[in-house]
Chain A
Amino acid sequence: MNTEPSRDQNISGSEPILRPGEGLQVETFYYDNRTVKNFAYATLFWGLVGMLAGLWAALSLAWPAVNLGLPATSFGRMRPVHTNAVVFAFVGNAIFCGVYYSLQRLLKARMWSDKLSKIHFWGWQTIILLGAISLWMGFTQGKEYAELEWPLDIAITAIWLVFGANMLGTILHRRVAHLYVAIWFYIGTWVAVAMLHIVNSIALPVSFTKSYSWYAGVQDALVQWWYGHNAVAFFLTTPFLGLMYYFVPKAANRPVYSYRWSIIHFWALIFLYIWAGPHHLLYTALPEWAQSLGTVFSIMLIAPSWGGMLNGLLTLRGAWDRVRDDAILKFFVVALTCYGMATFEGPMLSLKSVNAISHYTDWTIAHVHVGALGWNGFLAFGMLYWLLPRIFNTKLYSQKWANTHFWIGTLGIIFYVIPLYWAAFTQSLMWKQFTDDGTLQYQFMETVNAIQPMYVLRALGGSLYISGLVLMIVNISKTIKSGKLIPNEKAEAPSLPENYKYKEEKGHWHSWIEKRPVQMIFLSLIAVGIGGMVEMIPTFLVKSNIPTIASVKPYTPLELYGRNIYIREGCYTCHSQMIRPFRDEVARYGEYSKAGEFVYDHPFQWGSKRTGPDLAREGGKYPDSWHYNHLLDPTSMTSGSLMPRYPWLFDDKIDKMKTYDMIRAMKKLGVPYAVGYENIANDDVDMQASKIQKNLAGDKIDVAPNDEIVALIAYLQRLGTDIKAEKN
């Protein structure tokens, strides 16, 4: 079928189109498979790109030479490209693919608007492409998983609205009274992601490619991790649960084990998830009550998560014999098992005692990869293996290859996560080890070198996983060649009468709600909105939550330039700026961090992983020349260092024309610079730069005052010194 038929077409084709209300007559209509196919291809393509970027980053940790000494290929830029590509491009396209396939069939209606489907598809791909390029170029807001700069943030919002309109339009034009639970998960996802993305992305632009977070320090951290955790919840989990509730019953050819569980699963999950964000900030300068709130709700999350997992696995009751041969079911079983493991591990990691060991180590990386590789990856693979042959009206080219993919992928996951768990325990225990004399037993570098072999193994695991994907791509392309796409798949269903009063089941509350998508959106918004408000409002409101420290002063303009570079190079992907109140951390890094130290940090740069040491008290630890040499060649100062070289910082210059806008922006955000300071700020830039220039000259190092390295040294030498000044 090459021509695009109208949404609704009478069965004979000659009579006028039946509208709802004209009786329960059977209508013929056509499912849009072309958009599904496009999203499926995009899933595979971006999946490969995103995972290769991840492999690159992994290899550069095992062998730092892989950073190549180029800006775009250094770890600090490659890592955000990897995370964004995998989350928003691979998983994102998989979500849209599955939603467009299942929504139409569950509602017995074509997608509402072909035009919106097209805009959605091409808009999303454009954002991904520009996103990847901009991250490689160093345009970043410096907040994990929300790195994209403000123009792209706006584009994401627009495309997300297009997706929502298309979904809601389809729901409103459906031919099925009830909304199956998968659709609730889609609606909940849409509402929550819209809210999270908008709230977290609020920033003040200073140019087309640069903006500063509206929030500062502790508040920025809270908003970011409220977003960050819920990106996991509402982008990586709830939409995939919706897909699971559709595709697992489909593949198993039996209904979901308990539909009742699935309803409770939905409400409990969206209500609880939104609260859990602060568990990313345990032992930090975040107020204690907010940390406890995060822990309590994280523990409660085990119940609905495991309920959902068991519901999925039990759907296979009576079909376990098929799991032996059917690669698709195998993928689904492992996906659900990984979901169960990750959602058990998550709450455990949110216990303070466990978090004390796990945080800042590779444990977090292992944890998210159980979810990403196992849950998201395997569910997406299973779904694509199931759906693509169907829309191409053919059979999968090779079941054997699909089974091989399953085993390679599973081995890949194991080889990926086990070395990282090992690395995490090893390193964390080494960090905390004291000698009998009461001094730290290990230098930071020793703990890194001890786990480096694990990074090699992890890269091997990743390579296995990717080779599985390559095999899948070959298998799928051969499958496609053997069939022909049915761009518009014919279907028939009776229309919903307009005067349908939803009375056929006696007024049950949930029957009421599951037939009213608009009310459903509203209720979901309330459910997810409440948690966010309660967590954030008091932190913003109560002055005592962030005690001000008199000696903490705004950054100098040169330090701000340095901070921009720090953010651009993604230093936060390997260095934290948050010393927890533990004996070993205080001994290693200095006085633990206080909330009041970060009030001028737009955005906060606490980080979440210590591949390198914490930098919160870096200022004054080493002479300027140490930083100069270290950034030029880290191994010259620290033998065995994994840090990339940054040769471009020694050639590129800061543009002092930007000072005015930068200071103006900071003032707008509430940073108390003196009246008119923006006009004279460049004098301070010159003064501070020439001081650093002189310091370096003393060590026989020749720099220009406007070299980027000078600004970065200024920033690094400032870190944590406000509190030191107070003590002296």
Chain B
Amino acid sequence: MSPKELPSRPRPLATSAAERIAVIIEATEKAAASVIDDAEEQASRYLDEARAEADRIVAERLRAVADELDPPASGARQAPHLKPVESPQPDEAPKSAAAQRSRNGSAGARLLATQMAVSGSSREEIEARLRSGFEIEDAAGILDAILGPED
């Protein structure tokens, strides 16, 4: 057997194993980094798309409800707390605390009615709740907008 045919001298086991592990770790880390980058990018894109779609659906629904009840003088109405609150324009007159509370209450009443409708409450139940919680005696407008007009 010529020297070339001789099997190469086995390297010490620990060295061999350590090198192999190092190679495996390096390859794994590269692959993981690539997977993480891809996954993060994909997750971020998916999340952004999902949020945008959810915001759009909720905003459209609540805007439709709000407009039907109280048509805006100009511009689009903000859905209650589900979309960012717009900062007041510098030339806008400051609203009184009472007016602000009233506006919040109105938005709250609509959200209450929507959530109750979505969770399966009847027209009568929502009406009773609006009466007790918001002292709204005639809730027909809100209810018609959410549930459709009564037959």
| A and B co-occur in one complex | no
